[in-house]
Structure 1
Amino acid sequence: MNMENYFNKLTDTIRAITEENFLGIYIHGSWAMGGFNPDRSDVDLLVVVGNSLDIATQCRLAKFLLANSNDPYPIEISFLTQNQLKNWTHPCPYEFHYSEGWRQSFERELLTGQYGDINNDHKVDPDLAAHLTILNHRGICWEGPPIKDIFPVIPQSHYLSSILADYQDCLKNVEAEPVYCVLNLIRVYWYVKEEVISSKLEAGEYGLTSFPQEYKETIRKVIESYQGNRVREFHKEELTSIRDYIQSEVEKRVGGSSV
């Protein structure tokens, strides 16, 4: 797929739906950092609008994203107002969010006309601290004002809080989702050790060169699976071993009470 045409199509439709409220659209995540895998990665987007989105606009966005996410790539997208960015708090409030995890509830709400998830007055997302940090360091302005002119600098403590929440999930789920979780655990380890903001693939490559030899075969299998080169089988012992190693190293640097 021609990705320029893909992003232009998304931008044109989102601009048409939000009308004069539209200010800009920005790419973060694996596409921005050069680690996009067409068979595995989400398209990660942030949209800035001038003012709050009414329910009719949010429903039009929901219908558009339900029709276009997974065609061909899953979309994760958040809409924020200028005020939400200017008056930064963590976890950050937002106007509208879609990812594939919301598909069933959005479909149900559009059928019933009860918009608890689509139009929630108290929406906040701790992940936005990580998304905006990545955007500031590695992101792409597809259309709109330059990133530095519209997005705040995120305090390191907020970014760390955001990635540690995902880190905790990965500690629990490493056996169920070994590829995603091992790469994310390495990514958090690399940040707390050297303050490097990386993609999952970059984290895996770092692990291959920097981790003890006993973990490198597991990391190699994870990378091969992530890239789709080869489907690999993982054993419980190797996954819990690398998880425990990373957890020990992270807690040495952050403190057990923080993680």
Structure 2
Amino acid sequence: MNMDNYFNKLTNTIRTIIKENFLGLYIHGSLAIGGFNRDRSDVDLLAVVKDSLDIATQAELAKSLLAISNDPYPIEISFLTQKQLESWVHPSPYEFHYSEGWRQSFERELLTGHYGAINNDHKVDPDLAAHITILNHRGICWEGPPIEDVFPVIPRTHYLFSILADYQDCLKNVEANPVYCVLNLIRVYWYVKEGVISSKLEAGEYGLNSFPEEYKDTIGKVIESYQGIRVKEPLKSELMNIRDYLQEEVERRVGGPVV
């Protein structure tokens, strides 16, 4: 698919729903920083609006995104107001969020007319600190004012808190989701060691080039699976070994266990 056409169509759909309240659409994640895999990656987006979105508008966004997401790529998008960005707090509030994890809830709510998930009054997302940091460093302004004119500089402590939450999940789930978790653990390690903000693929290549020899075969398997070259699942013992190594290295650098 021609990505220019894809994003133009998506932008026009959002603008038609939000109308003059629309301010901009911005790309972060693997499509912006590298390593986008057409068979497994999400299209990661942030949309900025001038003012809050009413429930009717949120329902229309949910309906449209249900139709667009997975055609051909899954979409993860958060809508934030200018005020939410100008008055940054962590975890950040937001107006509306769509990802495939919400598909069933949104489909059910659009059928019943009861918009509990779509119109949650207490919407905050600690991941936004990481998303905006990545956007500030390596993101793409698809439409709207320049990134630096719209998005705040996120304090390092907020970004670190955000990625360490994901790190904790990956420590628990590395066997269930080895590709995502191994690459993400390496990405967190690289950041706490050298302050590098990277894609999962870049982190894997870094680990392949710099880690002790005993972990390189495992990392190679994970990279090949991520790229779709071949799927050769690492053994449980391999996953536990690299997880324990990364946990020790990360927690040594952040000054103790991450809780």
CA offsets per residue over residues 82-119 of structure 1, 9 Å max, x none? 00000000000000000000001111111111111100
Q: What residue is the counterpart of 2:218 in the other structure?
A: 218
Q: What is the root-mean-square deviation in Å for CA atoms of aligned residues?
A: 0.7
Q: Measure the CA separation in 2 of the matches of 1:248 and 1:34.
A: 28
* 2:186 paired with 1:208: no
Q: Measure the CA separation in 1 of the matches of 2:47 and 2:109.
A: 23
Give the CA deviation at 1:221.
0.3
8 A contact 2:27–2:45 mirrored in 1: yes
* 2:29 paired with 1:11: no
- The one-letter code matched in structure 2 to 1:186 is I
Q: Measure the CA separation in 2 of the matches of 1:54 and 1:68.
A: 21
SS in 2 for 1:256: coil
Q: What residue is the counterpart of 1:80 in the other structure?
A: 80
Q: What residue is the counterpart of 1:175 in the other structure?
A: 175
5 Å-filtered alignment, 1:10-29, equals 10-29=10-29
8 A contact 2:43–2:76 mirrored in 1: yes
8 A contact 2:222–2:233 mirrored in 1: no
Give the CA deviation at 1:258.
3.6
* Runs of 4+ in structure 1 over 3 Å off: none
Give the share of equivalent positions with the same residue, in percent. Answer: 82
Q: Measure the CA separation in 2 of the matches of 1:191 and 1:77.
A: 24
Q: What residue is the counterpart of 2:60 in the other structure?
A: 60
5 Å-filtered alignment, 1:1-259, equals 1-259=1-259
Q: Measure the CA separation in 1 of the matches of 2:34 and 2:9.
A: 21
- The one-letter code matched in structure 2 to 1:137 is H
Q: Measure the CA separation in 2 of the matches of 1:216 and 1:157.
A: 31
- The one-letter code matched in structure 2 to 1:26 is Y
Give the aligned length.
259
Give the CA deviation at 1:257.
3.9
TM normalised by structure 1 equals 0.99
Q: Measure the CA separation in 2 of the matches of 1:249 and 1:175.
A: 19
Q: Measure the CA separation in 1 of the matches of 2:200 and 2:99.
A: 19
- The one-letter code matched in structure 2 to 1:156 is R
SS in 2 for 1:188: helix
Of stretches 249-258 and 62-71 in structure 1, the one that deviates more from structure 2 is 249-258
Q: Measure the CA separation in 2 of the matches of 1:258 and 1:248.
A: 11
